[in-house]
Chain A
Amino acid sequence: MLEIQKIDVYRKDIQILRSVSLAVGEGKITALLGSNGAGKTTLLMAISGLLKPKTGSICLKGISIDRQPVHKIVEMGISMVPEGRRLFPEMSVFENLELGAFTKKARDTKGQMMREVFEIFPILKTRSTQIAGTLSGGEQQMLAIARGLMSRPKLLLIDELSWGLAPIMIQRISETIKQINKTMGLTIFIVEQNVSITLEVADFGYILENGRIVGEGEAKQLLESDEVKDAYLSIGDV
């Protein structure tokens, strides 16, 4: 579904990503793992168009998107749940969802989509008139995901699902992600520091270190592999 070929991405003059290539399979949950500062968020920004790669290409279903403006990329079917959620804090839950369905195509199916996300996150329905900034952390993350679904994306990008959440909440939301992937058949690309939980829901994983892909594989294999255990899971002596 999404093919990234050897992209170099800079922020100002500093090179963050070095010849990164990866693929996100249709209908799958793909994970990108890596520690703080590895370049994970930069990669998502490049996919969503907020940053433009200097070299290399990004294609969605064979169509190049790396020179498109951000709002066009949304129209083409990529939706992002940004790091730190980035809700519109002074607007109601309802208005946040409405803005998620901002593109012309999404406006037509707004009502139906709203019912669907309320089914997935019933709490949002009871909170629909509440101002987004006053929701709890977990509710805000649910709203951010729901808002990302409102545009009926082909591909959903999620940046740091676990950001600022209690472990029980992380567990619950990652289960919901799995459920969304199954029932809606939605392709999901998830970027995380929290390796173990992510690999439990993901089908395939990549490991990013200092701007380079240093490992990849089926999620189950990665979870078992020594590299991942040593580097991220710290099993054994701490």
Chain B
Amino acid sequence: MVQIIVYGIITGAFYGIAAIGLSLVFGVMHHLNIAHGSLIMIGGFAAYWFFHLLKIDPFVSIPFVMIILFIFGALLYKGLFSHLDKLPEGQKIDNSMLVGFGLIWIIDNLATLAWTSDARAVTPSYTGKVWQVLPGLRISFVGLIIVGIALLVIFSLHFLLTRTYFGKAVRATAQDRDAGNLMGINVARTYLTFFALSASLAGVAGVLAAVNYSVHPMVGFEWLLKATIILVLAGVGKIGPVFAAGVLLGIAEGISVYFVGATYQEVVGLVIFIIVLLIRSMR
């Protein structure tokens, strides 16, 4: 049982990283970027090619992958999502989903053309390295690093949002866009940077996915599903709850594998998703 919980925490830490970018962009800019999963997929492939062609360790490649996704995210925002900012609040979500849906189609199929639909994994020498901490409790090296990175992401995001001018500008414009503008905040540039930043976080998630699981061109949708469940569980735009919800989902999946079997792992997440939606809509 302890093993299941520890495994759930590791899985949840990964889910949290996968969901955080989606949640922050939704919370601040009211864009539901459903292509977030596809950005994770690109991050995974980037890590794969860094590892295979340049022999760069996946965890070392994280900064490079982040830069690639940052630039890609900035282009996506500038070219597509920024045009939605002029729409009234209610229409932003719908239209950003349409744009995101189109992007999934394009990105995933281009990835299939370029890299074939094979699943690939990054397998550095330490893959499968496991420590027997206690009798009946094993922790993998990769899992430990994932939890460490998740903590690093939580604390640096918290620092960024509460202690820096950029973070305060982000929070202020999330609460009142025009008022933020009237303080002298360049809203367009702040949003551009923030969107690109969240894309780079998708890059981090992609690297971890490639090491801990595997990537193929259609894998983005699976991660999007997890991220959406977490978004519903955690509420919008908060950092801590996203990771808490990730861990909760991870543990719930672990327990279901233990009692019901791995086939129904996906079902559990979706059942939680529907229950939470039902309860929320009742209020």
A interface residue numbers (CB < 8 A to B) = 48, 50, 69-71, 74-75, 79-80, 82, 86-91, 95, 98-100, 102-103, 106-107, 147, 151
Contacts and interface: CB of A to CB of B under 8 A. Distances in A.
A52 B275 CA distance: 48
Interface string B15-58: 00000000000000000000000000000000000000000000
Contact of A69 (B175, B176, B186): B186
A102 B179 contact: no
Contact of B172 (A71, A75, A99, A151): A99
A25 B169 CA distance: 33
Contact of A86 (B171, B176, B187): B176
A69 B185 CA distance: 10
A74 B175 contact: no
13 contacts: A48-B182, A71-B181, A82-B182, A86-B176, A86-B178, A86-B179, A87-B179, A88-B176, A88-B179, A89-B175, A91-B172, A99-B185, A102-B168
B183 A74 contact: yes
Contacts of B181: 50, 70-71
Interface of B: 165, 168-169, 171-172, 175-176, 178-187
B170 to A, nearest CB: 11
Contacts of B168: 91, 95, 98-99, 102
Contacts of B184: 71, 74-75, 102-103, 106, 151
Contact of A71 (B175, B176, B186): B186
A95 B171 CA distance: 11
Contacts of B176: 86-88
A151 B178 contact: no
Contacts of A90: 171, 175
- Report the 3 A-B pairs with minimum CB-CB distance, sorted nearest first: A74-B184, A86-B179, A103-B184
Contacts of B180: 88, 99
Contacts of A103: 184
Nearest to A132: B175
Contacts of B187: 71
A75 B168 CA distance: 18
A231 to B, nearest CB: 31
A100 to B, nearest CB: 6
A50 B183 CA distance: 12
A98 B184 CA distance: 12
B237 to A, nearest CB: 11
Interface centre among A74, A79, A87, A99 (most CB of B within 10 A): A99
Contact of A88 (B165, B171, B186): B171
Contacts of B179: 82, 86-88
Contacts of B185: 71, 99, 102
